[in-house]
């Protein structure tokens, strides 16, 4: 991922773009994640859910809690792991998410 950084951020640390904000969070030690927005079909092939050829990525969002497990930004490729989606749905409870956000914000 390459972040667009404004001249104000590069010279003075002023956050005026989304890239500036994301860079500031990384510099403060906050782990950020990435979520995509896309539209397209999904079909079952050989027991696996596969995204169809009609997939269209709409945008990428920088988030504190990615919707896909393991979608974190890491400084090295070796720190990243491939994620294979399953049909099973399990997620953090709302209380766990609130506590994680409070922890990130230092409250």
Residue found by looking up tokens 């409070």 in the block: 102
Q: Is the pLDDT of residue 11 over 90?
A: yes
Q: What is the pLDDT of residues 28-85, one digit of tens each?
A: 988 889 888 889 998 888 888 888 889 898 988 888 888 777 788 776 777 666 656 5
What's the predicted TM-score (pTM) here?
A: 0.57
> Is pLDDT larger for residue 78 or for residue 91?
78
Closest to 5 measured CA to CA, from 29, 17, 92: 17
Domain borders along the chain are 1-30, 33-105
In 3-state terms, what secondary structure has residue 39? Answer: strand
- For residue 84 the two structure tokens come to 């294979």
């Amino acid at each position: 991922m390459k972040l667009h950084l404004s001249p104000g951020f590069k010279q003075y640390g002023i956050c005026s773009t989304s890239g500036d904000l994301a860079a500031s969070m990384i510099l403060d030690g906050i782990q950020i994640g990435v979520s995509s927005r896309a539209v397209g079909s999904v079909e079952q092939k050989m027991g696996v859910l596969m995204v169809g050829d009609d997939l269209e990525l709409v945008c990428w969002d920088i988030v504190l809690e990615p919707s896909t497990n393991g979608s974190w930004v890491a400084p090295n490729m070796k720190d990243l792991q491939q994620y294979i989606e399953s049909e099973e749905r399990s997620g953090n409870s709302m209380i766990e998410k609130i506590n994680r956000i409070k922890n990130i914000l230092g409250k």
